[in-house]
């Protein structure tokens, strides 16, 4: 099977104006091709560089001529035709080998772009897709802050290489205009605007959105040194005719009605934005206040319009009351928890305190739990009946923890163990292991998931008999298998759906 050809628009120059689709295709491509003049430097490549990866094949399509003369028997056009044919043959070799080829194009690929010459020669032979980009005309309009056209107005796009008489004639007969490819044609273009009586309304934009961006009235620009990447713009006549009316005298606004406050308890998942549900993202985006344990609040990207209330980890009741008090003042409060807020987290604390705030609505937005994420990383150890238990004895006596561990072990349930250890709680995990070994085989699989979802994530598979408590800390979650839990040769852990 042949490869696929993509012509992708990179926009006017700012790498942040590259579309999401173009960035993805550049990163996925086997071959990245780009044009350049004889000096070999490619503006297209410099724009695309943040999205490229190591190991990609790069095809530099270097023009044999740009503006200079040539001794080619077919003249300037003959030299370019041979060049385009040779480039197409080089790309066809990659496509015939099944490789994905992306051809970079500044602006839009089919708007005065070099890509179109590859498209004409290859698109009928290979699967091809063109991805549009932001044009320099749109960028110049945005940089100027002036609309191109309104209502029934006509926009004319002209190459500066046209004869001066033709330029002047077309400028006289249009509402708005963009003249591309200035460079050596600048003086001719400026004179054409003057002949058409439009020079006073014309603007010059150089390297829009790029480093060295420059904006000036066209009549004030020195022709010396005008680059190819510049254009002249005649914006909408409606915009030019608009004269703002004086601002009316301010009228006192009526006092706003009391805002309706709310508390939303949000599960952030194990780590980072990719683990957030769309519902959680919306709750965070619309909140006026964020309340939570400091490291959890820090996971949410800062927003200058939001107030952040960071607290210690051991003041859940006070944190809950504070959130409800803020909501009582009309604030939209997001109380953030790691994982799911209803699993050893803030939801129950907020709901308990909410009894004293009957007029404040409370919602709970679920999140991915640590148990779910560690299980998925390991395989499917929670594939059958299981229970979830915390080894922390801060809010319940150890005797209760021990009784529940023994009951779960006797019942042959898979266990997901939260809060297995901390700097101040070091003896509970060895005690729990010994309790489980009274009912489980030493070879029972154990999964240790540490900081799953974070940059220092690790997942270790061991056995109950070989479990080393010293390797476990507060950032870990343990999954202890049942009698049916299995470990494959590849280290994947699963518990079958069927029970003997």
Residue 259 above 70 pLDDT? no
In the three-class reduction of DSSP (H, G, I as helix; E, B as strand; rest coil), residue 165 is classed as helix
| pLDDT band (50, 70, 90) for residue 234 | very high
- Cα–Cα distance, 21 to 4 (Å, whole number): 15
Sign of CA dihedral 49, 50, 54, 57: negative
Q: Residues 362, 265: contact at Cβ < 8 Å?
A: yes
Instruction: Give yes or no for residue 241 having a pLDDT over 60.
Output: no
3-class secondary structure, 500? coil
In the chain, ranges of CATH 3.40.1010.10 domains:
5-133, 262-368
Residue 434 confidence class, pLDDT cut points 50, 70, 90: very high
CB neighbours of residue 212 within 10 Å: 9
Q: What does the chain come to in residues?
A: 500
Measure the CA–CA gap between 123 and 410, rounded to whole angstroms: 67
% of the chain with per-residue pLDDT over 70: 95
Please give the Cα distance from 315 to 176 (Å, whole number). 64
The reported pLDDT for the residue numbered 251 is 61
Phi/psi of residue 283, each to 5°? Answer: -60, -40
393-426: b or e for each residue (b if 16 or more CB lie within 10 Å)? eeeeeeeebbebbeebbeebbbbbbbbbbeeebe
C-alpha distance across the termini of the chain, in Å: 48
Q: What kind of architecture, by CATH, is found in domain 137-239?
A: 2-Layer Sandwich (3.30)
Range name among 253-262, 288-297, 323-332, 482-491 with the lowest pLDDT average:
253-262
* Contact (Cβ atoms closer than 8 angstroms) between residue 35 and residue 28: no
Q: How far apart are CA 201 and CA 102, in angstroms?
A: 40
Residues of the chain with CATH 3.30.950.10: 137-239, 371-494
Question: Average of pLDDT values for 175-197?
Answer: 93
Looking at domain 371-494, its CATH architecture is 2-Layer Sandwich (3.30)
**In which order are the strands placed within the sheet that holds 458-463?**
386-390, 414-418, 476-480, 445-450, 458-463
* Average model confidence (pLDDT) across the chain: 90
pLDDT at 331 over 80: yes
DSSP 57-100: EEEEEE-S-SSS----TTHHHHHHHHHHHHHHHHHHHHHHTT--
Global pTM value: 0.52
49-52-56-58 Cα dihedral, nearest 10 degrees: -30
Q: Residue 300, Cβ neighbours under 10 Å: how many?
A: 22
Helix (H, G, I), strand (E, B) or coil at 70: coil
Higher pLDDT, 254 or 367: 367
Distance CA 86, CA 62 (A): 11
- Look up the CATH architecture of domain 262-368: 3-Layer(aba) Sandwich (3.40)
Q: Is 283's pLDDT higher than 90?
A: no
Cα angle 266, 418, 437; round to 5:
160
Using CA atoms, how far apart are residues 146 and 139, in angstroms rounded to an integer?
A: 11
Q: What is the mean pLDDT of residues 416-424?
A: 90
Residues in Cβ contact with 111 at an 8 Å cutoff, skipping those fewer than 6 apart: 135
Burial of 344 per CB tally in 10 Å (0-12, 13-18, 19+): buried
- What are the backbone dihedrals phi and psi of residue 306, each rounded to the nearest 5 degrees, phi first? -105, 145
Superfamily of domain 5-133: Tetrapyrrole methylase, N-terminal domain (3.40.1010.10)
pLDDT tens for each residue of 339-373? 999 998 899 999 999 999 999 999 999 999 999 99
Which residues does residue 313 pair with via DSSP β-bridges, in sequence order?
Answer: none
pLDDT the model gives residue 240: 62
User: Rounded to 5 degrees, what angle do the CA atoms 156, 160, 161 make?
Assistant: 125
For the beta carbon of residue 136, count every other beta carbon within 10 angstroms.
28
């Amino acid at each position: 099977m042949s490869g696929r050809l993509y012509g992708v628009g990179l926009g006017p120059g700012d790498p942040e104006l590259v579309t999401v689709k173009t960035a993805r295709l550049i990163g996925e491509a086997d071959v990245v091709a780009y044009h350049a003049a004889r000096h070999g430097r490619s503006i297209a490549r410099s724009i695309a560089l943040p999205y490229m990866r190591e190991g990609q094949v790069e095809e530099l399509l270097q023009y044999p001529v740009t503006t200079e003369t040539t001794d080619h028997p077919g003249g300037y056009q003959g030299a370019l035709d041979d060049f385009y044919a040779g480039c197409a043959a080089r790309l066809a070799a990659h496509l015939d080998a099944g490789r994905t080829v992306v051809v970079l194009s500044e602006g839009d690929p089919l708007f005065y772009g070099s890509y179109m010459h590859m498209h004409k020669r290859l698109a009928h032979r290979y699967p091809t897709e063109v991805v549009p980009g932001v044009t320099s005309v749109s960028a110049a309009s945005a940089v100027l802050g002036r609309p191109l056209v309104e209502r029934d107005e006509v926009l004319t796009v002209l190459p500066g290489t046209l004869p001066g008489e033709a330029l002047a004639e077309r400028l006289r007969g249009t509402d708005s205009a963009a003249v591309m490819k200035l460079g050596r044609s600048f003086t001719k273009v400026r004179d054409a605007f003057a002949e058409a009586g439009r020079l006073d309304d014309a603007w010059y934009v150089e390297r829009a959105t790029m480093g060295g961006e420059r904006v000036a009235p066209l009549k004030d620009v020195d022709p010396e040194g005008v680059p190819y990447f510049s254009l002249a713009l005649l914006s909408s006549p409606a915009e030019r005719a608009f004269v703002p009316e004086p601002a009316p005298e301010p009228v006192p606004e009526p006092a706003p009605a009391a805002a309706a406050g709310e508390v939303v308890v949000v599960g952030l998942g194990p780590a980072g934005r990719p683990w957030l549900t769309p519902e959680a993202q919306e709750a965070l985006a619309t909140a006026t206040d964020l309340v939570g344990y400091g490291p959890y609040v820090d996971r949410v990207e800062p927003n200058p319009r939001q107030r952040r209330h960071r607290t210690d980890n051991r003041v859940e009741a006070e944190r809950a009351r504070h959130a409800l008090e803020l909501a009582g003042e009309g604030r939209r409060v997001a109380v953030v928890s790691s994982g799911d807020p209803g699993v050893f987290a803030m939801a129950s604390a907020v709901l308990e305190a909410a009894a004293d705030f009957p007029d404040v609505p409370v919602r709970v937005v679920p999140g991915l739990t640590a148990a779910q994420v560690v299980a998925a990383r390991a395989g499917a150890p929670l594939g059958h009946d299981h229970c979830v238990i915390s080894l922390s004895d801060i809010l319940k006596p150890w005797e209760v923890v021990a009784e529940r561990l023994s009951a779960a072990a006797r019942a042959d349930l898979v266990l997901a163990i939260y809060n297995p250890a901390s700097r101040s709680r070091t003896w509970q995990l060895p005690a729990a292991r010994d309790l489980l070994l009274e009912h489980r085989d030493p070879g029972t699989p154990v999964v240790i998931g540490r900081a799953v979802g974070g940059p220092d994530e690790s997942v270790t598979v061991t056995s109950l008999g070989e479990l080393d408590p010293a390797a476990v800390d507060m950032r870990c979650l343990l999954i202890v298998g049942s009698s049916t839990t299995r470990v494959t040769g590849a280290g994947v852990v699963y518990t079958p759906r069927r029970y003997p």
